[in-house]
Chain A
Amino acid sequence: MSVSSRAATACLEFDAVGLTFPSRSGTPVLALDSVSCRFAPGKVTAIIGPSGCGKSTLLQIARGLLQPTIGGVRFVALGGNAEQMAPEMATVWQAFNLFPWRTVLDNVAFGLEVTGVPRVERNRRAREALARVDLSGFEHKYPRQLSGGMRQRVGLARALVMEPEILLLDEPFGALDAQTRLVLQEQLAGLVETTRTTAILVTHSIEEAILLGDTILVMTARPGRVAAELTVDLPRPRSLATTHDAGYGALFDRIYGLLRDEVLRAMSAETG
């Protein structure tokens, strides 16, 4: 898989972002608590944390689909300090979120269609994007007719066709079976290595975070805070073989150690 994408022009920064939302009981719930971080341009940042820690929420805030209660999101131009407009971004969703009444081709072309790209042009670009995820020949199928892995490749093509400068991956393989997941993880690892796209990957798989990430942000249980920021300096290209590396084992244990306490805390908060 290769991909067209834009080289990073700006760096995404979170500045003390906090989010509270109203709950049924009336007392507002603090979902994110003063999250500050910098997402290195041209790199993959993996965000890992216990369920309900607000990691998917973080992505929606980055995309501008959700406004933080306090703090802010900034895009700082590279090689300077000037703040700039949000660059092109696109999201790949855990639940695929494909439009079931649209064919594969029309799903991939959706973003171009709503931004006014003429039909011939958008179909050409959508076909190209589908070829990049090895789905040529499936243009006129409906999502229902595809397997889970193929649907998520459609989801990926639908994001890539927008030529995003920042690719947001919201547990993209969470709904897939273990084998499909392994293959797609390897393919995505290859994809991010050959392009200089900034990617933010939300996951609850330690393995996925290490395999794909340059940096790993470990989050705490709700309210979500950044517990640790780890650098993955394992050599690329990475594949399943990377998991036999001594450095991999040490990093895995370190992340598991950080997560274990948080997961236990989240579980006791649920039952208590």
Chain B
Amino acid sequence: MAEQVLPTGPAPARTTPRLLGAPQTLAWASVIAVLLLWESVVRLAHLNPIYLPAPTGIVRALIDLFANGRLGIDLLATLWRIFAGFAIAVVLGVLIGVWMATSERMRAIADLFIAALYPLPKVTLIPLLIIWLGTGGPFMLTISALGAIFPVIINTVVGIRQCDPGLVLAARDLRAQSHQIVFKVLLPSAIPSIFAGIRLGLGVSIILVVAAEMVVGKTGLGARLFLAGQVLETEQVFAVLIVLAILGIVVTKAQDAIDAWLSHWRLD
């Protein structure tokens, strides 16, 4: 009789409720519900669009901004600043990280500098960097690279130092030279950790570039956001925020895809 008491398998399929209850469907349904509620509250309460514009108004502003080409140019400028600086940070960060992980002396020297600079909020460096570099391209690349480089360095060092010493012994046994051990053993084994650092670093780069644009920029999403706020174009403020949010989603999902591809050897 026990078989009748214990559930022995999945419940019979109930197609319609299950489809509605699927996580993806739920996620989109809740977004639409929030937008509908927002739209109706703004319309029914006759809120001033300076305080809270309706979603339809924001979409109209978004289309207008893209149609006259300004927001597209701003987006490209911001993307260039983020990714050029970020690329510099990844290359330099991995190099410095490898150097620190493999050289006792280099680690001793760099440790203290990193301990001092890493926790420092990088936005506090904006005034100094403007004094040194002005407000043009070099400034933007530097602030972007500064944001990403510390997590990349730290995660490269951690990843390499966590490498199984047995793998290094095996490589030496098979006659690998020092540089081959770095490129064929230490770096590949540190890839998951390095990518975790890259993920953190890119997030900081985005924050810093947009913040820097808000302070000094004439172009870029941050500049557009700041100008729109100053003239109380709240619909435009929301439009830029939406672009930034979508940028965040795209970057996160792209990193998920790269992570999955890079660690295919870890999956069964």
> Which chain A residues have a beta carbon within 8 Å of chain B's beta carbons?
60, 63, 65, 89-91, 93, 95, 97-102, 110-111, 113-115, 142, 144-145, 158, 162
Asked whether A101 lies within 8 Å of B191 as measured between CB atoms, the reply is: yes
Interface residues of B in 180-237 (CB under 8 A from A): 180, 184-185, 188-189, 191
Asked whether A65 lies within 8 Å of B173 as measured between CB atoms, the reply is: yes
Complex-state Cα separation, A91 to B177, whole angstroms: 17
Contacts of A113 in B (CB 8 A): 184
Asked whether A100 lies within 8 Å of B175 as measured between CB atoms, the reply is: no
Complex-state Cα separation, A144 to B265, whole angstroms: 8
Complex-state Cα separation, A89 to B177, whole angstroms: 16
Given contacts A142-B265, A144-B268, contact A110 B191 (CB under 8 A): no
Tell me if B123 is interfacial: C-beta within 8 Å of chain A.
Answer: no
Complex-state Cα separation, A98 to B268, whole angstroms: 16
Q: List 17 A-B contacts (CB under 8 A).
A: A65-B172, A93-B166, A93-B170, A95-B166, A97-B170, A99-B167, A100-B189, A100-B265, A101-B265, A102-B265, A110-B171, A110-B174, A115-B175, A144-B265, A144-B266, A144-B268, A145-B268
Report the nearest B residue to A63, measured CB to CB. B173
Tell me if B129 is interfacial: C-beta within 8 Å of chain A.
Answer: no
Tell me if B176 is interfacial: C-beta within 8 Å of chain A.
Answer: yes
Tell me if B111 is interfacial: C-beta within 8 Å of chain A.
Answer: no
Tell me if B169 is interfacial: C-beta within 8 Å of chain A.
Answer: yes
Report the nearest A residue to B176, measured CB to CB. A114
> Which chain B residues have a beta carbon within 8 Å of chain A's beta carbons?
164, 166-167, 169-177, 180, 184-185, 188-189, 191, 265-268
Shortest Cβ gap from B183 to chain A (Å)? 10
Complex-state Cα separation, A95 to B165, whole angstroms: 11
Asked whether A162 lies within 8 Å of B185 as measured between CB atoms, the reply is: no
Asked whether B191 lies within 8 Å of A162 as measured between CB atoms, the reply is: no
Given contacts A114-B175, A115-B175, A145-B268, contact A101 B166 (CB under 8 A): no
Number of A-B residue pairs, CB cutoff 8 Å, is 59
Contacts of B174 in A (CB 8 A): 90, 110-111, 114, 158, 162
Complex-state Cα separation, A159 to B222, whole angstroms: 58
Complex-state Cα separation, A100 to B268, whole angstroms: 12
Contacts of B172 in A (CB 8 A): 65
Shortest Cβ gap from A136 to chain B (Å)? 21
Asked whether B166 lies within 8 Å of A114 as measured between CB atoms, the reply is: no
Contacts of B167 in A (CB 8 A): 97, 99
Complex-state Cα separation, A114 to B164, whole angstroms: 19
Asked whether B177 lies within 8 Å of A97 as measured between CB atoms, the reply is: no
Contacts of A60 in B (CB 8 A): 169
Complex-state Cα separation, A156 to B18, whole angstroms: 51
Shortest Cβ gap from B265 to chain A (Å)? 5
Closest 7 CB pairs of A and B: A111-B174, A97-B170, A97-B166, A114-B176, A91-B173, A101-B265, A142-B265
Asked whether B175 lies within 8 Å of A101 as measured between CB atoms, the reply is: no
Given contacts A111-B175, A114-B184, A158-B174, contact A101 B169 (CB under 8 A): no
Interface core residue of B175, B176, B185, B268 (most chain A CB under 10 Å) = B175
Given contacts A63-B173, A65-B173, A142-B265, contact A99 B166 (CB under 8 A): no
Contacts of B176 in A (CB 8 A): 110-111, 114
Report the nearest B residue to A109, measured CB to CB. B174
Report the nearest A residue to B168, measured CB to CB. A97
Complex-state Cα separation, A142 to B265, whole angstroms: 6
Contacts of B189 in A (CB 8 A): 99-101
Contacts of A93 in B (CB 8 A): 166, 169-170
